[in-house]
Amino acid sequence: MNEIKAIEASQMKTEVDKFKIGDTVKVHFKIIEGKTERIQIYEGLVIAIKNSKVGKTFTVRKNSYGVGVERVFPIHSPRIAKVEVVRPGKVRRAKLYYIRDKIGKGAKIKELIISRKSASKAAAKLPLKQNQGPASSSE
């Protein structure tokens, strides 16, 4: 069992991009065609995050020419270059499967608006460096 855990630990990414369900994301996915390698961007809504550790996956849904398309990406895949959050969403569900039945404006997710108060509180929680104090002219 320790050998399996060692293999899993070696395949996990150290830095995982921060996103959550309801966010609109751009997934930069490496595609290998013959000898060439290129990055394809898949933009859509994160409707589910499943499993844990190495097998953790997320499902992204987008509308392509009027047809809903879903794609499942493994988070720790070496083919995912990065996941970029385009628009944070405000949802109260763990899985957004109900979006599949919605059409037009009904399929929209509210945008999470970060207030200035919460942003300033988050900045206040950050520790200050010791040499950032007020400038003294005692020289």
Number of helices followed by number of strands (H, E) in the chain: 2, 5
pLDDT over 70 (residue 3): yes
What is the C-alpha to C-alpha distance for residues 135 and 127, in angstroms, rounded to an integer?
Answer: 18
Residue 49 lies in a domain: yes
Whether pLDDT at 121 is above 80: no
Query: How many residues make up the chain in this entry?
Result: 139
The least confident of 31-35, 74-78, 112-116 is: 112-116
- The mean-pLDDT minimum among 59-73, 93-107, 124-138 falls in 124-138
Q: Per the structure, how many domains does the chain have?
A: 1
Please indicate, yes or no, if residue 48 is contained in any of the structural domains: yes
Tell me the C-alpha distance between 25 and 17, whole Å: 11
CATH code of the domain in which 47 resides: 2.30.30.790
Residue 136 included in any domain: no
Percent of the chain's residues with pLDDT above 90: 42
Averaged pLDDT, 48-77: 91
**Phi-psi group of 75: left, alpha or beta (phi > 0 → left; psi -120 to 50 → alpha; rest → beta):** alpha
Inter-residue contact 29 to 74 (CB < 8 Å): no
Pairwise CA distance, residues 57 & 131, whole Å: 43
- Is 31 or 122 the better-scoring residue by pLDDT? 31
Q: 113, 54 in Cβ contact below 8 A?
A: no
* 118 belongs to a structural domain: yes
Q: What local confidence, expressed as pLDDT, does residue 50 receive?
A: 93
Q: Is residue 8 part of a domain?
A: yes
Q: What's the domain range around 84?
A: 2-126
